[in-house]
Amino acid sequence: MKEQVVELQIPAEAWSPEHVLRWAFDNFSNSVAIASAFGAEGMVLIDMASRVRQSFRLFTLDTEFLFPETYDLMDQVEQKYGVVIERVLSLASPEEQERAHGPALWQRNPDQCCSLRKVEPLRRKLGELRAWITSIRRDQTAARASARKIEWDEKFGLVKINPIADWTSKQVWRHIYEHDVPYNRLHDRDYPSIGCTHCTRAVHAGEDPRAGRWSGSSKTECGLHILQP
């Protein structure tokens, strides 16, 4: 499969997001799933998938530290699109994590907190799959700038599919408004990028859209989309 992905990388760059999704569903059937944190991009991808295929797999990494608005949106997604979100949890509850690593690990060592609550659960989930679909865009962070629409994920050892890798934020919001796609209401309160409550704040005028993530540190990624194995 890795060789086929390499051959497809260049031609796939000309495919529409719907074409990419159709290819993913046709080739991997029930062994591919959309990973979503239900940001604006994620909601667009879910809406597109619902137009391509009536039934599809959708999972989220539930850190148990998400905003109430995010959990409310997850309920809306299940109702509107008729899917059951597969909620992937850390092996340690928040209480167990605090006992093992002390209080507020996200302040002292955010990389370790993300590893425990996101990266390890993702690795476990991807072990069930042959491919996964993400809503990352190249212009979001430096780590995502080289993302292809179809690529081999060296870190997790399966096919990674990024249907809207070449989209802009403006295209994302145009799709949301034109198709009446539900979205996280925190976006209306200056939260362009939404993660856990402890590590996400609203951004101020003139700041980078991801300035509200891990504010005050050099961290820009939770580790899911960093290429190193």
Give the domain ranges of the chain.
2-199
The Cα–Cα gap between 56 and 214 comes to 32
Q: What does pTM read for this prediction? A: 0.90
Q: 214 falls in which pLDDT band (50, 70, 90)? A: confident
The CA–CA distances, whole Å, from 143 to 68, 168, 197, 219, 222 equal 29, 16, 23, 11, 11
- Calculate the CA dihedral of residues 64, 68, 70, 71 and round it to 10 degrees: 70
pLDDT digits (tens, 9 = 90+) for 74-96: 999 999 999 999 999 999 999 99
pLDDT digits (tens, 9 = 90+) for 90-141: 999 999 999 999 999 999 999 999 999 999 999 999 999 999 999 999 988 8
Residues with a catalytic annotation lie at 222
Q: 185 falls in which pLDDT band (50, 70, 90)? A: very high
CATH, range 2-199: 3.40.50.620
11: amino acid identity, one letter: P
Cβ atoms 131, 171 nearer than 8 A: no
On average, the pLDDT of the chain sits at: 93
Record the tokens describing residue 93, joined without a space. Answer: 């509850």
The Cα–Cα gap between 219 and 199 comes to 10
- Of the ranges 92-101, 145-154, 212-221, which one carries the lowest mean pLDDT score? 212-221
| pLDDT attached to residue 228 | 46
Q: 20 falls in which pLDDT band (50, 70, 90)? A: very high
Report phi then psi at 208, rounded to 5.
Answer: -60, 145
